[in-house]
Structure 1
Amino acid sequence: MGDFKSALATTASISTILQFLSGVLICRKIVRKGTCGDTSCFPFVAGFASCSLWLRYGCLIEDVSLIVVNCVGAFLQLSYVFIYLLYSPKKTTILRQLGAVTLVLFLTLAYVHYESDPHIARTRMGLICCSMTLLFFVAPFSVLTQVIRTKSSESLPFPLIVTTFVVSCQWFTYGVLLNDQFVQIPNAFGCILSALQLSLFVIYPKSNITKSEKWSTKDIPPRIL
């Protein structure tokens, strides 16, 4: 069981980092065009916050896999934010978002640091991380409403949904092995939501995809677990 847990942690970490790297496609297009236009940077800002919080939780429970994958995730998400800053006409908006997120992170991490009871610190940090991840998973419901209304799944990014389903299943299983409900709950929800999204491809098949199909930051899940 120990070997299986180690192997699962490794594959889940690799899958998650590959998912994080999908943001490179967005930033590459921005650099090539010389502007990010009206696309929002907030998913990456929120992703940086999520990875930072999960990183702290990983340190609290002393889990190497959570620490490594969220270190990489926080670095990548922050890198994407800086690229947006370079090419965005709305730099003030991005700086405000980043400032607000940094303040929330500082207050949260300061509380955890000065909490005298380690068990309470772990529990409350886990609740915060779990709640944030659940909020990110709920976000695609607006897209699902559009799919059902238009009876077309063209607005759904199939590769990213499949990736999210696989990653969620991996982390859910890992959470079971850790006996950690804060890892289990959001990923169980992620598995269900991803499966629901995948079922829409069967119910409402895509028409032929053209080369004009575009990626947006809405396609990037800004979370780790």
Structure 2
Amino acid sequence: MVSTKGNLTALYLFLSPTYFLFVAFNKQNFCSPTFIRIVKYKSVQAFKPDPYLATFMNCAMWLFYGLPIVHPHSLLIITINSVGIVITLTFCTIFFMYSTWACRKKMILVFIVEAILIAGMIAVTLTLEHTHPARSTLVGVMCLVFNIIMYTSPLTVMRSVIKTKSVRYMPICLSLGNLLNGLVWIVYAALEFDPFIMIPNAIGAISGTIQIALYFKYRKTTNWDEDETRNETEMPPAASNA
């Protein structure tokens, strides 16, 4: 039951940059439909690809962790991360289409590095480890590291929020998804005594809490009516990828 709820909150996390819940909160600018805006204005503006690139890597790692050859009886881990890969690849494709060439080169480089890391992890695990507990431990440690990277990837956006005192480009639904997803999977990990799931999701819950706190702190100083058509080169330096 807890794992099913975990899958639902994880699905919410993956879908949070879309139109999901936007209609209900449109007037309050509470839920930012990131990719709806990107497609509408044909520009990524000051949004960053970091969370989606990190999420793709994280889902790929956990998908391998849940396979029967590594960690048997993990069907729910397989299903939600398979869906996550499809969704994040869709987001990354849209982001790539409307990015500057500099951002595209960065995304290509990151994808190449991620592919090499995933292939290396699979090769090392299947070659050096021959029991399920050993494979689960090895892959679990690597999943833990990349899960932490996924949950802390919004730090670049949080830095910009503090400098600009604007939450315009920090999607609140993504932050809420981090918090809810982290809390549910903490409960699941406690019941299953799985530290590999417990540690990164505790960090995710903390990260989501900080982001939500920043949102409510700076939402009143945010200029929601700023011209949507401004591209990244016209944004303040603090909102750049530097």
Whether 1:31 aligns to 2:25 is no
- In the alignment, what sits opposite 2:202? 188
- In the alignment, what sits opposite 2:97? 86
Q: Is there any run of 5+ residues in structure 2 with no aligned partner, and where?
A: 19-32, 229-242
- In the alignment, what sits opposite 1:218? none
Whether 1:17 aligns to 2:11 is yes
For the 8 Å contact 1:37–1:89, the answer to whether it is kept is no
Q: What is the aligned counterpart of 1:105 among 108, 113, 118?
A: 118
For the 8 Å contact 2:51–2:154, the answer to whether it is kept is no
- In the alignment, what sits opposite 2:189? 175
Whether 1:51 aligns to 2:65 is no
Q: Matched residue of 2:44: which SS? A: coil
Given residue 82 of structure 2, which amino acid in structure 1 is its aligned partner?
C
Aligned pairs, number: 206
Distance 1:69 1:46 in 2: 16
Q: Matched residue of 1:116: which SS? A: coil
Distance 2:209 2:99 in 1: 35
TM-score computed with the length of structure 2 as normaliser: 0.71
Q: What is the aligned counterpart of 1:120 among 134, 137, 145?
A: 134
Deviations 1:73-123 (A, max 9, x none): 011111222223333342444322212211111111222233323322110
For the 8 Å contact 1:153–1:200, the answer to whether it is kept is no
Distance 1:111 1:125 in 2: 10
Distance 1:45 1:22 in 2: 15
Identical counterparts, % of pairs? 23
Q: What is the aligned counterpart of 1:133 among 123, 138, 147?
A: 147
Distance 1:97 1:188, change over 3 A: closer
Distance 1:50 1:176 in 2: 21
- In the alignment, what sits opposite 1:68? 79
TM-score computed with the length of structure 1 as normaliser: 0.75
For the 8 Å contact 2:17–2:171, the answer to whether it is kept is no
CA RMSD of aligned residues (A): 3.0
For the 8 Å contact 2:9–2:181, the answer to whether it is kept is yes
